[in-house]
Amino acid sequence: MTITAAADGSALGNPGPNGWAWYIDDENWAAGGSPHGTNNQGELQAVLELLRATAGSDEKLVIECDSKYVIDSITKWMPGWKRKGWRKSDGGPVLNRELMEALDVEIRGRDIEFQWVKGHAGHPLNEAADERANAAAKAYQQKIEPRRGPGFVNAAGAGAVVAASTAVAAGATTGRPDAASSTDHAAVSQQRPAASAPRATAEPLWAETADLLDGLDAPSADPIEVRLTLSGPEHARLQDRAAAQGTSLEEALRRLI
């Protein structure tokens, strides 16, 4: 089986209020955005959120993008950037590094293929993603909550039997910069690192969760309650992930285990 999805981004002003969206069908899509960001950030965020939402699936993922910047960044330039300490060939820092590092983590071990499609040219999935990303950007412009969508309703749970409860710190939940555009047809397939490999610093919430749960008994053990104190930005990230998957905060956290 293959999952085919479109990922797209939008920005009003570039930079300005921006939006992202990925779309599979009317029952499987998600959108979000931020009060201030670029179109490229929206394009990248759309792909990142799609990868996160479908992380529980073993099926091949075909991603339609209209941004060559996104596809080339992931399929051509990223290995060189990593070798140079996330710097470009001219020595300058890689733009949108946090998003790039997060994408680097998410593509490992996944069977992913990118296909470039021309934007605003009648491609059904691309048009649906573009419409939702633009609507999210407009919602942030109007300072209202965007339509976030049902998420990936076929997402599989992590399978760990651990009861988790989050005690969150007070703070506003602002959206993150996002991104998604297009590029040439390219395939991505990388080996997942060993369990002992260090986690990317761009994902502190994941790393903290893994550390707290390290050494817990096998799934047959009695449930253990784990309490976390999250910062405002960490809580916002968890909320966005839960919204993309169409689950509760607790279930989204459990799927990280």
Please list the pLDDT of the chain residue by residue as tens digits (257 residues).
Answer: 899 999 999 999 999 999 999 999 999 999 999 999 999 999 999 999 999 999 989 999 999 999 999 999 999 999 999 999 999 999 999 999 999 999 999 999 999 999 999 999 999 999 999 999 999 999 999 999 999 999 999 744 322 222 222 222 222 333 333 333 333 334 443 333 333 333 333 333 333 333 333 333 434 445 556 667 776 556 666 766 666 555 677 776 766 66
Residue 43 is a catalytic residue:
yes
Catalytic residue among 58, 92, 120, 215: 120
Residue 104 is a catalytic residue:
no
Catalytic residue among 64, 66, 178, 240: 66
Task: Name the residue range of residue 164's domain.
Answer: 2-254
pLDDT of residue 182: 34
pLDDT of residue 223: 56
Q: Interior CA angle at 199 toward 214 and 1, to 5°?
A: 95
Residue 120 is a catalytic residue:
yes
pLDDT of residue 59: 96
Residue 111 is a catalytic residue:
no
The total number of structural domains in the chain stands at: 1
Residue with tokens 């749960």: 213
Catalytic residue among 19, 42, 43, 64: 43
pLDDT of residue 32: 98
Q: Is the whole-model pTM more than 0.75?
A: no
Can you give the CATH number for the domain in which 16 is found? 3.30.420.10
pLDDT of residue 124: 98
How far from 45 is each of 90, 108, 113, 119, 250, CA to CA, in Å?
25, 17, 17, 17, 23
Catalytic residue among 64, 101, 130, 178: 130
Q: What's the burial of 222, exposed, middle or buried (CB within 10 Å: 0-12/13-18/19+)?
A: exposed
Catalytic residue among 8, 203, 234, 240: 8
pLDDT of residue 228: 75
Beta bridge partners of 29: 23, 151
